[in-house]
Structure 1
Amino acid sequence: MAGVICKFCASEILAPSLSDITFSNKRYSVFFCNKCKIGMTDPEPNNSQLSKLYEVGKYREKKGRRFVPFIEYFIIAFRHSRRRRIEFFKKNGRILDIGCGRGLFLHIMKQHGWDVSAVEFDKPTATNVSETFGINCISGHPDLWTFTAASFDVITLNHVLEHVPWPLEMLNKCNSLLKSGGLIVISVPNFSSIQASYAKENWFHLDIPYHLSHFTGDGLIRVIEQHGFKIVKVRRFDLEYSPFGWLQSLLNSAGVRKNLLYSYILDMEWSKRLIKDVSKFYVLIIIFLFIFFAPISLILSLYESYVKKRGGVTEVFALKKDTLSDIVGTDDNTKII
């Protein structure tokens, strides 16, 4: 197997750290750069293949609703929690959410007085966000965005950077769009987490071929700092992602049909077709394993995040360096939790 060139530092990576990951009868590998602490999916889907991967419209169902109603209540609560984390640094202003999905987060921000704009790379999804929530949502490559430079107080990329084929261009664009002292918030799955190391190709958040880059916490921090930002806070536990990452990964590793639990909580016709052939006995087995693994998953996610500092996700808060001293004072204000 030939090596690949790291898109972050141009180093050659000779051997994969994960291989023979199958999706739609095609095999993929992850090549990990020890210099950058970031992995890359190989082969990387081209633009045409990426368009087909995202054209299913999984964010466009039922006027902004994605999950079964019971789960939706939790999702809304998680979005409010994200809002409060941002408002710890910025009370109000103009916010851009890149990779906004169905637009629920920005809808909540708009209700709390923020001036909101969005980017969604799938054009039909962007149109749906605009029509459903009345949000200015555009699509396309960063070079095509029409936003004014230095016009945003906050930019968020929630589990987005790992999806894009041009992460460095994305970070440069974010820097140019932020005002002096602007805040960027980036969250990604942590490729060096204990759950990733344990589950390997069965890790729920691996998500190949949708995830093109596989960031470790250190790798994400480094690349953000290299693009004109100063880290002010790092979170390694997220109640929305960390425990479920363990739970679904444990189920996958136990031989349950891959990501079946996640498919059950989705509220879309394509997921219903996916699981229609599952027997009632199989469902009972899943329920038993769910009851057994759920508390274990919470304990493991807390342990890996707070004890080992290798949580399933990494969320970084950073400010533009040009006016950092006016905003936070000294380097001692960096907070890692």
Structure 2
Amino acid sequence: MANNISKITTKDYLVTQEIFELEYDSNSEMLVTKPAPNNLEKYYDPNNYISHSDNGNSLLEKVYQTVKKYTLNKKVKLLNKYSNTQKKLLDIGCGTGEFLINAKNQNWKTVGVELNDSARKKAVDKKLEVYKSLEDLNDRKFEVITLWHVLEHLPDLDKQINKITSLLDKNGTLIIAVPNYKSYDAQYYKEFWAAYDTPRHLWHFSQNAIKNIFTSKKIEVVKTLPMYFDSYYVSLLSEKYKTGSSNYLRAFYRGFRSNMKAKSTGEYSSLIYVLKKE
């Protein structure tokens, strides 16, 4: 079991306040959101869902946008380590397109997929090539495919992974970033942990879960990297869900402590996985 927990009761703190269960799947070692809504669109209210917005009005939004600019540069540097002469990139769940713009500025040939109509329109308005569905790409191949905090959102996970890997070049690289439910901040905040983000997050991964899922597809994790800022941002939201107040100092302390503990355990709040076909 997941740290002796077979089920967690949490809720959609962001939009609807509906109750959901997280059930442990012993085969994959991940937590699964139940029930999974038939229509997820209503849970992505653009007024509340920060990654579909370019705004920086509130303090939280300003912090988010500032950190995002820094991390975008780090992401492109990582991308460049796995490039060849083609430099063909597919970013799945590209939001409003900032990562694609940064990659394009460094000579990547970029394509994005974004389900949300509002976010996709903003990306297209920036002269980016962005589609609504993976099916729109037909049989195109990409050197690098990225999913930055997207895999946890995808319905019918097995089918989606099969489609994603079919779009990857033979020697291509898959880069995935997801929250880690075995991190200290997840264990501390429990049902209030903001990175559960039910029901938008349908799946909740541990390091073993990612390895188990992709090994079955003959895809190997070749590198795991921390996302240091996520513990602070997630703790800030979690404090608000737990206490009704942001409690900036307390959230910063919990985020800092999570990173310190992860130095020895490797269990950071969010992790980047670099994967290759075996």
Under TM normalisation by the shorter chain, which class is it?
A: 0.7 to 0.9
Q: Alpha-carbon deviation of 1:159?
A: 0.5
Identify which of 263, 266, 276 aligns with 1:309. 266
Gap change, CA 1:136 and 1:41, over 3 Å in 2: same
On the 8 A contact 2:228/2:268 being kept in 1, the answer is no
Could you say what secondary structure the match of 1:230 adopts? strand
Q: Alpha-carbon deviation of 1:109?
A: 0.3
Rounded to whole Å, the distance in 1 between the matches of 2:45 and 2:208 is 33
Aligned residue pairs, count: 265
Query: Is 1:189 aligned to 2:182, yes or no?
Result: no
Corresponding residue of 2:248: 290
Structure 2 counterparts to residues 50-61 of structure 1, below 5 A: 50-54=40-44, 56=46, 58=49, 61=53
In structure 2, what residue type is equivalent to 1:303?
M
On the 8 A contact 1:244/1:297 being kept in 2, the answer is no
Structure 2 counterparts to residues 245-284 of structure 1, below 5 A: 245-253=234-242, 255-257=243-245, 261=246
Corresponding residue of 2:95: 101
Structure 2 counterparts to residues 39-118 of structure 1, below 5 A: 39-46=31-38, 49-54=39-44, 56=46, 58=49, 61=53, 65-68=54-57, 70-71=62-63, 72-90=65-83, 93-118=87-112
Could you say what secondary structure the match of 1:128 adopts? helix
Could you say what secondary structure the match of 1:41 adopts? strand
CA RMSD in angstroms comes to 2.2
Corresponding residue of 2:121: 127
Could you say what secondary structure the match of 1:205 adopts? helix
Could you say what secondary structure the match of 1:153 adopts? strand
Gap change, CA 1:55 and 1:245, over 3 Å in 2: closer
Rounded to whole Å, the distance in 2 between the matches of 1:211 and 1:60 is 15
Corresponding residue of 1:278: none
Rounded to whole Å, the distance in 2 between the matches of 1:130 and 1:173 is 23
Rounded to whole Å, the distance in 1 between the matches of 2:123 and 2:37 is 26
Rounded to whole Å, the distance in 2 between the matches of 1:70 and 1:207 is 21
Question: 1:247-297 deviations in whole A, cap 9, x for unaligned?
Answer: 4334543x124xxx4xxxxxxxxxxxxxxxxxxxxxxxxxxx323542x23
Question: 1:108-129 deviations in whole A, cap 9, x for unaligned?
Answer: 0001100000000123422321
Gap change, CA 1:248 and 1:319, over 3 Å in 2: same
Corresponding residue of 1:335: none
Corresponding residue of 1:333: none
Could you say what secondary structure the match of 1:180 adopts? strand
Could you say what secondary structure the match of 1:318 adopts? strand
Gap change, CA 1:22 and 1:207, over 3 Å in 2: closer
Query: Is 1:139 aligned to 2:170, yes or no?
Result: no
Rounded to whole Å, the distance in 2 between the matches of 1:20 and 1:183 is 35
Q: Which has the larger radius of gyration?
A: 1
Q: Alpha-carbon deviation of 1:215?
A: 0.9
In structure 1, what residue type is equivalent to 2:235?
W
What TM-score, normalized to structure 1?
0.72
Gap change, CA 1:70 and 1:31, over 3 Å in 2: closer
Rounded to whole Å, the distance in 2 between the matches of 1:301 and 1:243 is 9
Rounded to whole Å, the distance in 2 between the matches of 1:225 and 1:190 is 18
Rounded to whole Å, the distance in 1 between the matches of 2:70 and 2:17 is 38
Q: Alpha-carbon deviation of 1:182?
A: 0.1
Displaced runs of 4 or more, over 4 A: 57-61
On the 8 A contact 2:185/2:231 being kept in 1, the answer is no
Query: Is 1:241 aligned to 2:230, yes or no?
Result: yes
* Unpaired stretches in structure 1, ≥5 consecutive residues: 1-14, 262-288, 322-337
Q: Alpha-carbon deviation of 1:303?
A: 2.2
Question: 1:94-146 deviations in whole A, cap 9, x for unaligned?
Answer: 00000001110001000110000000012342232111x21110013x4x223
In structure 2, what residue type is equivalent to 1:130?
V
On the 8 A contact 1:39/1:215 being kept in 2, the answer is yes
On the 8 A contact 1:221/1:316 being kept in 2, the answer is no
Identify which of 191, 198, 207 aligns with 1:208. 198
Question: 1:289-316 deviations in whole A, cap 9, x for unaligned?
Answer: 323542x234312223221222111211
What TM-score, normalized to structure 2?
0.86
Could you say what secondary structure the match of 2:196 adopts? coil
Could you say what secondary structure the match of 1:145 adopts? helix
